[in-house]
Structure 1
């Protein structure tokens, strides 16, 4: 039901307040109870011993009537559903769907990146920077695809960025093999995004190798991304690439990843260190910015248990008063 217009307070069912005068209508229009109909003993006033006793009985009757009215008012108040309206901060919203596609091939175990002054595996650096990037994207729907020999969805598209960041932090090499199926990983990311209703759809693909597994080629899938209107930002990870070293299957194919980005209308990034990776995450965050504050959704705290509890206490007091009468 509508609110009463009071600042910080409203009623879930304000029409319930129309029940308040119901006992008065019942008293006015229902026929009076016939004498002796209730089975109670009617004592003539002439037999009451003294005026003081009569006044005490009248006072007791007034207290019972007051308790009855208090009980009714509390019940109606609880039924009306009083609520406090609490302030809520506006959340950022952009209407974007972003799918991260992460290479989990065996080469991601190589220890040639640095974190907090110590050497770590590539995957550890990606987890740290990637999880931070995901948590900053509040207001977007984020998902995670992992790929190696096969591709799999580690986290479906969701506004719960914390759960996607946790899925990234829990990813382990070997879950989907140890080769590098870039085309299949990108294809699965596109499949999940194609059904999404957002205006802006983006894939952020990170790989440290060359496509050597799967059923599709990165270029063919990039053409599909372009036809679907989905941008693909690619990140080539690792200190060396195929332009530096000929014939090494464990270096990143930067040219293939550049082709994917340019074909789909995205951006290509070359990452050789952890600092490079952090800078790329900040760049993509800026490129896919444009987030505005969505209208805040008011938060309401129910207050009906208070009049409901008072009604229960009043009912107990009324029962006690009748027993001691």
Structure 2
């Protein structure tokens, strides 16, 4: 669809016709002197010939029309396209310490370790996020950026699946993971910075204390949701037979609760794969993606094309006038 931004320029279109029909200037003297009879006969022949539009005048007229339309700023509206609005900058910090290999979860009716369950639930969560930039931090003895913030959820999901226990060391540096998340989220809109921290233990490594990192996260408006992973009870075989133990005895729930409370986030306890799925459904509600897509129509300005066309016709009129002048000189 074509639309003119400044349509009032079109009132100038008939200006050449108005100038054409204006009364011609008359000579002040009553007599016209001719040097010889040949010039008089030549003048009479031209007066007798009917006036027809010539090529130079036609080119000038075309140049004027294109110039006026260019000045009216024509814009072509393309077909509407759907654009997903920008959502949140969301970082997921995943614990890869040695304790994540404890098989106290069930996945597809089969025993699974904590990391396998976490990756399975994370995969669905990541694929359902639209309009969010998602990044992955992995941490053990140290914290590393596995994937920077990106809209490419397919690649992010692949990198999550490639993470393995021990990649970042055997211990748990919760404070370093939060600190790295704050660094990667700096200079982002303050109401859209979210870090989801998943761990099954306590802070046993790192240079930054978790409580200090939480205070700094709050000052930077980074909301931290914490997820404690691990079952409360597990049957293991011992020398004296089956024995029930608590595989999550090392989980520092008080620390995770304090981090979440300090930053305006929520603490969640995941004792099973089903708990993890429910937690991420809750996180979807707490940190919703944009509800509605935005429809936009691409705009293409035609000003430069019409302006270029006007210049071309103006050049053609000058060339045609010059050729006509040479032809008349040759005939004379």
TM-score clears 0.5: yes
Structure 1 unaligned segments of length 5 or more: list them.
1-7, 29-42
Look up the match of 2:143: 151
Deviations 1:69-113 (A, max 9, x none): 21332245346542234546575567x553322224466678987
Give yes or no for the alignment of 1:161 onto 2:151: yes
Distance (whole Å) between structure 2 residues aligned to residue 121 and residue 80 of structure 1: 68
Deviation at 1:187, TM superposition (A): 2.6
- What's the C-alpha RMSD, in Å, of the aligned pairs? 5.3
Instruction: Give the structure with higher Rg (CA).
Output: 2
Distance (whole Å) between structure 1 residues aligned to residue 304 and residue 268 of structure 2: 58
TM-score by length of 2: 0.60
The answer to whether the Cα contact below 8 Å between 1:242 and 1:252 also exists between their aligned partners in 2 is no
Give yes or no for the alignment of 1:270 onto 2:261: no
Deviation at 1:133, TM superposition (A): 3.2
| Matched position secondary structure for 1:180 | coil
Give yes or no for the alignment of 1:69 onto 2:61: yes
Give yes or no for the alignment of 1:280 onto 2:269: no
Structure 2 unaligned segments of length 5 or more: list them.
23-37, 236-243, 328-332
Look up the match of 1:253: 251
Number of matched residues?
Answer: 295
Residue correspondence of structure 1 range 107-256 to structure 2 within 5 A: 126=118, 129-130=121-122, 132-134=124-126, 136-138=128-130, 142-154=134-146, 161-162=151-152, 166-167=155-156, 169-170=158-159, 172-173=163-164, 176-177=168-169, 179-193=171-185, 196-199=188-191, 201-222=193-214, 225=217, 230-237=222-229, 245=245, 253=251, 255=253
Greater Cα offset, 196-205 or 303-312? 303-312
TM-score by length of 1: 0.61
Distance 1:308 1:266, change over 3 A: same
The answer to whether the Cα contact below 8 Å between 1:13 and 1:79 also exists between their aligned partners in 2 is yes
Distance (whole Å) between structure 2 residues aligned to residue 124 and residue 82 of structure 1: 58
Deviation at 1:233, TM superposition (A): 1.8
The answer to whether the Cα contact below 8 Å between 1:223 and 1:263 also exists between their aligned partners in 2 is no
Distance 1:199 1:16, change over 3 A: same
